[in-house]
Amino acid sequence: MNRISIVLLGLALLCAACDKKTEKVTPNGLKFTVVTAGNGILPKKEDILVFDYILRDSKDSTWNSTHEEGMPSAVMIADSSAIATENGMVQMFRMLSKGDSVAMTMPVTKFFKDIVGQPVPPKVDTTVTISYYLQVKDIMRMEQFREFQTKLLEAKKKTQPAKDAALIAKYLDKNNIKAEQDTTGLRYVIHSQGSGAKPSIESCVEVKYKGTLLKEGRVFDQSEKIAFPLGGVIEGWKLGIPKLGVGDSATFYIPSALAYGPQGYPGAIPPDAILIFDVQLLSVATEFDQATRSCK
């Protein structure tokens, strides 16, 4: 969905005719508005509810959007015995049908407490409100969902490389960075290069690195010194690190297909994330010692 369609969806949810809106409340008290009613057929146990959503705050900053990610979200409906322990959002899914569009707004403190189940992160403005706009695309059984998901992923594989390339190019241009590019889509800047030994894919390497998410600008991992067999890491490192000799340093701009792809790395790296790595190659050896986690 393009940006105009995203805006239109948001406006439709916000500006739909008042006589079509229905206020509802979940068993534990979460209030939401059904802006557009669907077919009225509620999901059953083990049904998969597939939906698109936009999450934004009162400063008009979009926190997350399945439209931008190119993948809808999904949730499985549990047995009714679980209702008492479910949060309001999960309870709400039980009350929705295919075609329903819903909206809700709440203070960010309530959102993190009742929906996320965690304290508000330190850098989040606690004065803002959060608005959540959701549209149910379909309700299906697991076998049907797996087929649906496979088709989406296959389609995404064809479009994601071009999308990543454009985002990397935009970032480099905005920051006035001149980066080289190889045929895989990896972009890189060599900061220092001497005559040190270069590794092969069979080598054990020791590096210093910092990993940053291109979109969020957040550092997700870093180490002053770590050793590993080069053949066991993401493709972006397999391609980039052999360009360095011992003592050399570089920055790699790694498209998602050469990183963690559509699955991401739960808890650290979102799906389809473009990664920036600042790397210095410290040493090269022939073997990795599993017991000491070092090269030898």
Average pLDDT, the chain: 90
DSSP state of 203: -
Whether residue 95 contacts residue 42, with contact meaning beta carbons closer than 8 Å, is answered with yes
Predicted pLDDT at 20: 60
Average pLDDT value for residue range 49-68: 90
Predicted pLDDT at 275: 97
Angle 112-115-120 (CA atoms, 0-180°, nearest 5)?
A: 5
pLDDT digits 0-9 by tens, 207-224: 999 999 998 898 999 999
pLDDT digits 0-9 by tens, 225-248: 999 999 999 999 999 999 999 999
Angle 39-131-18 (CA atoms, 0-180°, nearest 5)?
A: 50
Residues 6+ apart with CB under 8 A from 9: 1, 52, 54, 67, 133, 135
Per residue in 186-205, is it b (16+ CB within 10 Å) or e — as a string? bbbeeeeeeeeebbeeebbb
Residues 6+ apart with CB under 8 A from 158: none
The CATH classification of domain 156-295, taken from the options 3.10.50.40, 3.40.190.10, 1.25.40.10, 3.40.640.10: 3.10.50.40
Helix (H) or strand (E) holding 67: helix 66-69
Residue scoring higher pLDDT (70 or 4): 70
Q: Which fold has domain 3-140?
A: Chitinase A; domain 3 (3.10.50)
Predicted pLDDT at 174: 96
DSSP state of 127: T
Q: Are 3-140 and 156-295 in the same CATH fold? A: yes
Structure tokens at 138: 């379909």
CB neighbour class for 103 (10 Å; exposed up to 12, middle 13-18, buried from 19):
buried
Predicted pLDDT at 78: 95
Q: What is the pTM of this model?
A: 0.68
| Residue 130 vs residues 31, 157, 267: alpha-carbon distances, Å | 13, 32, 22
**In Å, how far from its chain's centre is CA 293?**
30
Torsion 233-239-241-245 (CA) sign: positive
Domain ranges of the chain: 3-140, 156-295
pLDDT digits 0-9 by tens, 109-154: 999 888 888 888 887 899 999 999 999 999 999 999 999 999 988 8
pLDDT digits 0-9 by tens, 175-208: 999 999 999 999 999 999 888 999 999 999 999 9
